[in-house]
Chain A
């Protein structure tokens, strides 16, 4: 149980284009999903917290107009990197938490590696 998928696993795009990444909870309903960014040999940095049906909460320093997050259903959250630039190249990972008493536990998706040329 508690399986999270992400799509795509790899994406290469030209500078200035937009990229959408999907995060799905496959066998449970996730009221909360999280988006992280991880640069090589570094830790996971929380970008935003996404709650179903409401606006995402962004961490300090994360541009909400650049990283658009939509959580339209209990099993799907999307992250759109708008007007991507080479410095946005990174490993983007989503996670989802179980509802109820186990809500602190986060299960991670396999990640999306973004390369912006």
Chain B
């Protein structure tokens, strides 16, 4: 089955810096790649997603890039703010079934 690796497991940045989280997947049939933000004790919230026919997508301070050849995709957050602090999960989807990475705890210090 699909295997998703996510790095780093923790990431500490200063407010205003950029943060980058990287994921790789194993199954070339995966065609949908969402990113979720989960605050402590709460539900995962979809923040951005990308489909396999697109190389890059941006939504304000958040962007995702996809390299299908290398089977990796990344989340970029610019101008980080303390409220961006949370756990971020990447996922890869085959036939609507999501496989999640292990998560990255992002801490943004004021």
Contact = CB atoms under 8 A, between A and B. Distances in A.
Interface in B89-109: 89, 93, 96-103
Interface of B is mostly: strand
Contacts, number: 46
Interface of A is mostly: strand
Chain B interface size range: 20 to 34
B97 A46 contact: yes
Contacts of B31: 104
Interface string A24-61: 00000000101000000011111001000000000000
Interface residues of A, number: 20
Interface in B1-54: 31-32, 34, 36, 41-46, 49
A67 interface: no
A44 B42 CA distance: 13
Interface stretch (A13-21, A78-86, A107-115): A107-115
A42 B102 CA distance: 6
A108 B44 contact: yes
A73 interface: no
Contacts of B34: 104-106
